[in-house]
């Protein structure tokens, strides 16, 4: 594909994304466009408010910015009332500056309102052309561009059937460490080195706990594992940002509910939960056997992950753990 065809391709792909995924896409583009900056989706979506928080900090700048994302059809332009509401949101949150990104265009009054308020506008054409320039969603192959299908596959729900991929089986058994890693992802650009430097965990554990957040749908993986020209980066989803926000203000009951909901919807936990509710109880060795039979893991790999899976399973309110010659998981919901 030439640049024109590549731009049309990323536009088509972008328009097919769900609203929250489109926000995550815009966050990826912004982070890629400003290497010193940190961007993350906000915890709560509010009409007229801030969808993405940004911070640019270096030896010469220390600027906070708010970004609003409008995923509109080409025929639906952003009007001046939206700009005026966004201006109010910037003032309320104390942002130094702001940007509105849309997949469509702006009306003349909206452009005039933004100019008076010092708000930067990014229309669909600029967004999609920037994605091609930054190789977000496409890759340059000599003089041409090729689709980066693996990048787009990172959005949305997995539609895989059959054995669960090994990456979707957690290898992280400390929820305290998970909280620390999630906070670090929200406060940084989300690379393995960022997480390790902010938390003190090893680079290996930085990845393992980021993957755990991804399994819970608290974290979005921004680049495929083997992308040759990108460093794998993690960012919080809106659910993940909400979870971190609740923890930060001590609203642990709400945070725990999000965590339990995320665990319950994890594929391996869902399958184990169904078995446990039918059988009433099973041993830890039985849990390992189920992990091996339901996933792409070998028996030895399933055994290594069994501890983490058991900790996640036991976090469900309906599950209790009994100790004896061998640990046993018991279904206690009436």
CA–CA distances in Å: residue 281 to residues 258, 296, 319: 25, 24, 9
Domain final position from 152, 181, 208: 152
Residues of the chain above pLDDT 70, percent: 97
Averaged pLDDT, 173-194: 95
Averaged pLDDT, 103-112: 97
Same domain, 325 and 260: yes
Three-state SS for 139?
Answer: strand
Instruction: Tell me the DSSP string of 22-45.
Output: HHHHHHHHHHHH-TTEEEEE-SS-
For 203-227, what is each residue's pLDDT tens digit? 999 999 999 999 999 999 988 877 6
Same domain, 18 and 51: yes
CA–CA distances in Å: residue 211 to residues 168, 173, 196, 250, 310: 8, 12, 14, 25, 17
Query: pLDDT value at position 48?
Result: 74
> pTM for this one?
0.91
Confidence class of residue 58 from pLDDT cuts 50, 70 and 90?
Answer: confident
Same domain, 179 and 134: no
Same domain, 14 and 131: yes
Same domain, 178 and 137: no
Instruction: Say if CB 25 and CB 14 are below 8 A apart.
Output: yes
Confidence class of residue 36 from pLDDT cuts 50, 70 and 90?
Answer: confident
**Residue 216, token pair as written in the block:** 């819970």
Q: In Å, how far from its chain's centre is CA 189?
A: 12
Cβ neighbours of residue 267 closer than 8 Å, sequence gap 6 or more: 164, 168
Residue 265 pLDDT exceeds 90: yes
Judged on CB neighbours under 10 Å (0-12, 13-18, 19+), 9 is: buried
Same domain, 178 and 302: yes
| Number of domains into which the chain is organized | 2
Candidate from 72-81, 138-147, 167-176, 283-292 with smallest mean pLDDT: 138-147
Averaged pLDDT, 308-315: 97
Query: pLDDT value at position 312?
Result: 98
Give the domain CATH number at 233.
3.90.241.10
CA dihedral 46, 47, 48, 52 (to 10 degrees): 40
**Residue 99, token pair as written in the block:** 């940007």
Domain final position from 86, 117, 152: 152
Query: pLDDT value at position 182?
Result: 98
- Residue 12: CB atoms within 10 A of its CB come to 10
Q: List, in sequence order, every residue forming a beta bridge with 166; answer none if it has no partner.
A: none
Confidence class of residue 325 from pLDDT cuts 50, 70 and 90?
Answer: confident
Same domain, 24 and 139: yes
Nearest-angstrom CA–CA distance, 278 and 291? 17
For 23-35, what is each residue's pLDDT tens digit? 999 999 999 898 7
Averaged pLDDT, 199-204: 94
Averaged pLDDT, 302-318: 96
Let me know if residue 289 belongs to a domain: yes
Same domain, 171 and 148: no
Same domain, 174 and 142: no
Residue 327 pLDDT exceeds 60: yes
Give the domain CATH number at 85.
3.40.1350.10
Containing 101, the helix (H) or strand (E) segment is: strand 97-102
Query: pLDDT value at position 210?
Result: 96
Residue 323 pLDDT exceeds 90: no
Let me know if residue 158 belongs to a domain: no
Let me know if residue 157 belongs to a domain: no
Averaged pLDDT, 103-130: 97
Instruction: Tell me the DSSP string of 316-333.
Output: STTEEEE-SSS-EEEE--
Name the residue among 220, 22, 32, 40 with its Cα closest to residue 104.
Answer: 22
Residue 122 pLDDT exceeds 60: yes
Nearest-angstrom CA–CA distance, 203 and 194? 9
Let me know if residue 159 belongs to a domain: no
For 1-29, what is each residue's pLDDT tens digit? 999 999 999 999 999 999 999 999 999 99
Same domain, 326 and 248: yes
Same domain, 55 and 173: no
Let me know if residue 101 belongs to a domain: yes
CA–CA distances in Å: residue 236 to residues 38, 172, 239, 252, 305: 12, 18, 8, 18, 24
Query: pLDDT value at position 159?
Result: 58
Q: Which domain covers residue 177, as residue numbers?
A: 166-331
Name the residue among 13, 24, 81 with its Cα closest to residue 47.
Answer: 81
Domain final position from 152, 175, 194: 152
Let me know if residue 160 belongs to a domain: no
Same domain, 95 and 63: yes
């Amino acid at each position: 594909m030439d640049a024109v065809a590549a731009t049309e391709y990323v536009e088509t792909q972008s328009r097919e994304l769900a609203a929250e995924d489109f926000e995550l896409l815009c966050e990826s583009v912004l982070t890629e466009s400003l290497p010193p900056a940190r961007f993350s989706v906000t915890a709560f979506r509010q009409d007229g408010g801030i969808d993405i928080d940004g911070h640019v900090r270096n030896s010469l700048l220390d600027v906070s910015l708010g970004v609003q994302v409008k995923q509109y059809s080409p025929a639906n332009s952003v009007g001046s009332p939206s700009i005026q509401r966004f201006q109010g949101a910037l003032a309320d949150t104390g942002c130094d500056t702001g940007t509105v990104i849309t997949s469509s265009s702006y009306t003349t009054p909206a452009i005039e309102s933004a100019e008076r308020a010092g708000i930067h506008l990014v229309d669909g054409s600029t967004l999609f052309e920037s994605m091609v320039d930054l190789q977000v969603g496409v890759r340059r192959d000599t003089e041409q561009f090729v689709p980066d299908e693996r990048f787009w596959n990172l959005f949305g729900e997995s539609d895989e059937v059959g054995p669960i991929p090994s990456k979707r089986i957690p290898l992280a058994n400390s929820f305290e460490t998970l909280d620390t890693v999630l906070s670090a992802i929200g406060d940084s650009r989300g690379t393995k080195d960022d997480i390790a430097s902010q938390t003190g965990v090893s680079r290996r554990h930085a990845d393992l706990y980021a993957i755990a957040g991804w399994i819970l749908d608290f974290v979005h993986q921004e680049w495929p594992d083997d992308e040759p020209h990108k460093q794998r980066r993690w960012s919080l989803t809106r659910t993940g940002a909400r979870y971190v926000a609740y923890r930060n203000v001590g609203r642990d009951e709400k945070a725990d509910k999000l965590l339990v909901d995320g665990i319950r919807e994890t594929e391996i936990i869902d399958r184990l939960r169904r078995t446990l509710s039918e059988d009433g109880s099973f041993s830890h060795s039985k849990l390992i056997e189920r992990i091996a039979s339901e996933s792409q893991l070998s028996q030895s790999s399933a055994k290594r992950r069994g501890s983490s899976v058991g900790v996640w399973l036991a976090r469900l309110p309906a599950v209790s753990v009994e100790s004896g010659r061998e640990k046993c998981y018991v279904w206690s919901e009436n």
